[in-house]
Amino acid sequence: MLVLLPLILTLLPAASAQVVGAATGFAKGVTGGGTATPAVPSSIAELTTWLTDSTARVIMLDKEFNFIGSQGTVTEAGCRPSSNTCPNAGGQDAINGASWCTSGGYPSVTVTYDKAGTTFIDVKSNKSLVGKGSAGVIRGIGLRIANGASNVIIQNVHITQLNPQYIWGGDAITLAGSDMVWIDHCKFSLIGRQMLVTGYAQAGRVTVSNNEFDGATSWSATCNGDHYWTMLFLGSSDLVTLVGNHIHDVSGRAPKIGGASTANTMVHAVNNYFHSMGGHAFDISTGGMALIEGNVFESVTTVITAASSSAGGRIFNTYASGNQATCSSGLGRSCILNTVSSVGGWSSYATSDFLANFSGKNVQAAIAVASVKASVQANAGIGHIGN
C-alpha cells in the first residue's frame, strides 16, 4: 500500500479538478455539470457517450482526443469558389455543404476530406467539459449544443483540425436552440468553416470569454494566410457577451452579427484584443445589434465593414469621449473608449436605442482599455486557468 500511495496522489489532481471561476456577462449563473465528480474519459467513444447522455457530468480532458479517421474519409465533387484566387497555393476549395457549390455555380473539383470533421458531437444539458493544463485537445470534430440543450460549460479546451483546407470542412462550436452556455479559455485553430456559429434558432444567453481565435492557416479563403470564417451570430433570440478574447490572423466574420430575416442577436463586445487581421472584424446586418467598447484594435484592415452602415443592423462603438455616458441608462455605467492603431474602417456609429435592452440583464463589467492588451495576452486561450 505504501508503494502505491505516490501513484494515487499523482492521479488525484487530474481527476478532482473542477471548473475554474464563474461566468460573467449574459451567461452568468451557468453551472454546467455542477458538483458532479470529475471524471476523465478513456477514449473518443467514452468522451462521446458522456457528452451525449442525460447525466450531469464534469468531464476532464487530460490528453488529446483525436477523431480524425474515426468515420473514414470521403472523396466526392466539391468546387473552387471565386474567392480562391490562389488555387493550390494557399486558397480554400469547398465541400458542397448545404449544396453551396451547386447553388453558386462554381467549377467542380474533386475533394477528399475527413468525415468526422463535417459532423459534431451533440452536447446535452448540464455538462462541464474542462481541459487539464494545456493538454485538453479535441482534434477532428466539433461540438454542437442544440435542440433545447442548456447549462453547458466548455473551458480550457483546444478544438482544432476540422478539414481546414475546405470551406464547409466543419464548425468548431455550434449553438442552435440552446441557452446558458459559457465558452471560456478555449482555443480554436485550423477550422474549415466557422470557429463559433449560432444557427437560426436561438442560442440564448452566451458568454464567450478569454478564448484565442487563432486564424493562422495554410488554406485561406482570402488567400492571405488568414482564416475568414471566424464567428457567425444569426440566432433568433440571442444575448452574446464577448469579453477578453484574443482574435488574430483572421480576415472576416470576426464577428458577423445578423443577416437573416429571423435574426435578433445582441452582442456586447468588450475588452477584446483584435490584431493582425487582413480583412474585416465586425460585419453587422439585419437583426444584429453590437455594443463595441473597451477593445483594442491593432493592424486591422477594416474594423467595421462599410456595408454595416446600411445593412439594417444597429451599432454603438463608443467612438469618442462625448458619447460614453450614452450607455448609462442601459448598462448602469458609462461605456469605455476603444483604442485603434493602424486600422481602417473606423468611424462613429451612434445608434443607441437598443442599449435599453441591456437593462435588467447581467451586464459585463469593463476594465480600462489601457490594460486590455496585456491582460488578454496573459490570459486568453488554454493553459491559463491554473488547474
Instruction: Give the residue numbers annotated as catalytic, written as ranges.
Output: 253
Q: Which residues contact 300 (CB under 8 A, 6 or more apart)?
A: 274, 275, 277, 280, 281, 340, 342, 343, 344, 345
Asked if 372 and 271 count as a contact pair (C-beta separation under 8 A), the reply is yes
Return the ∠ at Cα 28 (arms to 134 and 337), rounded to 5°.
Answer: 85
User: Cell match 483540425: residue?
Assistant: 161
User: Cell match 444584429: residue?
Assistant: 288
CA–CA distance, 95 with 86 (Å, rounded to integer): 17
Closest CA to 296 of 322, 315, 314, 269: 269
Report residue 323 CA to chain centroid gap.
29
Helix residue ranges, H only, 231-357: 328-331
C-alpha distances out from residue 144 to 31, 84, 119, 122, Å: 18, 28, 9, 5
Helix or strand (DSSP H, E) at 108: strand 108-114
Task: Please provide residue 26's backbone torsions phi and psi, each rounded to the nearest 5 degrees.
Answer: -60, -30
Return the ∠ at Cα 324 (arms to 319 and 325), rounded to 5°.
Answer: 150
Q: Which triple of cell numbers denotes residue 149? A: 440543450
**Cβ neighbours around 199 below 10 Å, total:** 19
User: Cell match 460549460: residue?
Assistant: 153
Rg (CA), the chain: 21
